[in-house]
Amino acid sequence: MNYKPIIIVAGEPRSIFLEIFFKTLKIKRFKSPIILLASKKLVLYQMKMLNFKFSINEIELKKYKEFKLDKNKINLINIDLKDYSSSKKISSSSNNYIKKSFDIALNLIDKKISNKLINGPVSKKTFLKKKFLGITEYLAYKTKSKKYVMLIYNKNLSVSPITTHLPLKNVCKNINQKDIKDRIFLIKDFFEKLLNKKAIIAVAGLNPHCESVNSFNEDEKILMPVIKNLKKIGLNISGPWPADTLFLKQNRKKYNLIVGMYHDQVLTPIKTLFEYNAINITLGLPFLRVSPDHGTNEKMFGKNMSNPLSLIKSIEFLDK
């Protein structure tokens, strides 16, 4: 069977990503070849610093039709990065490097080299600044995708926030019936077409106990009508449920998907339950995009103590 390569953008140079990438290659072999987009100097520098040893198969972009990939080596597309040492902190000086990495990755996908993308973490503060809430939104913009959703996936229980990296004070005004419907349908189709199972959905209410001291209760006025409508057309969905008890064992075991209204409402419990055994999937793009469920973790940079499980799970999910 001819497995398409998995394209991996290393992302922020001063992050734990290359460490967990090296650990992943040491622990596990995959059926699909992997193409890494990163600075060759950075890769060699971090290999030496972290005491890993891999051979590199450097790929020339001009010869993309003749790519010769080697599963026993790191297939690398070298992205120029002038300052590759660990002496500096995360800053905007890496922005062009990260942007070029994504641009080349998307170009390879356009050329049908692959339809699978994994990215390492980037700094929202320096790379995305205020223009995009996260890489989910950045890739949606780059691919002109209008409907998309973040899914944190584990085979036993997945979660999805309707809003992503918004400050809490902005959540209420960014919740509406159309977005909730569109995003639930994207996840429903993903469950059926890619996972071959039906989504059993619980919706977490926005307010504590789904009650509000204000005259306008979002759970009654926005969420309830959507849930009733989706139930009428055949979706296995219920709610809104109080978020403070929804993740209790006897409650969560009834569902394989919990939809929340804001980022930490569902990501905090899923990370507490599964730690690194969960991956971030963006649905609604013209390709499969997955990322390990962790950030740059700059404080752990160079310490060789980070857990690679989420990256292993990310590659395993695309290794087909």
| Architecture of the structural domain at 149-282 | 3-Layer(aba) Sandwich (3.40)
Q: Can you give the residue ranges of every domain in the chain?
A: 1-145+285-320, 149-282
Both tokens of residue 257? Answer: 């998907």
Radius of gyration of the chain measured on its C-alpha atoms? 20
pLDDT band per the 50, 70, 90 thresholds, residue 292: confident
207 to 48, 192, 241, 247: CA distances (angstroms): 50, 30, 10, 16
Q: Alpha-carbon distance 114 to 109, whole Å?
A: 5
Note the pLDDT tens digit of each residue in 251-286: 999 999 999 999 999 999 999 999 989 999 999 999
Residue carrying the six token digits 């996908």: 109
CATH topology assigned to domain 1-145+285-320:
Isopropylmalate Dehydrogenase (3.40.718)
The C-alpha atoms of residue 199 and residue 184 are separated, in whole angstroms, by 10
pLDDT of residue 3: 82
Helices (H), the chain: 17-27, 40-50, 95-110, 135-142, 177-193, 218, 224-232, 243-246, 249-252, 263-274, 309-318
Residue 226: which pLDDT band, with cuts at 50, 70 and 90?
very high
- The confidence band for 85, taking pLDDT boundaries of 50, 70 and 90, is low
Report the percent of the chain where pLDDT is more than 90.
77
pLDDT surpasses 60 at 87: no
Q: Give the type of residue at 88.
A: K
Contacts for 83 with CB less than 8 Å, ≥ 6 apart: 93
What pLDDT is stored for residue 65 in this prediction?
64
Identical topology for domains 1-145+285-320 and 149-282: yes
- pLDDT cut 70: percent of the chain above it: 97
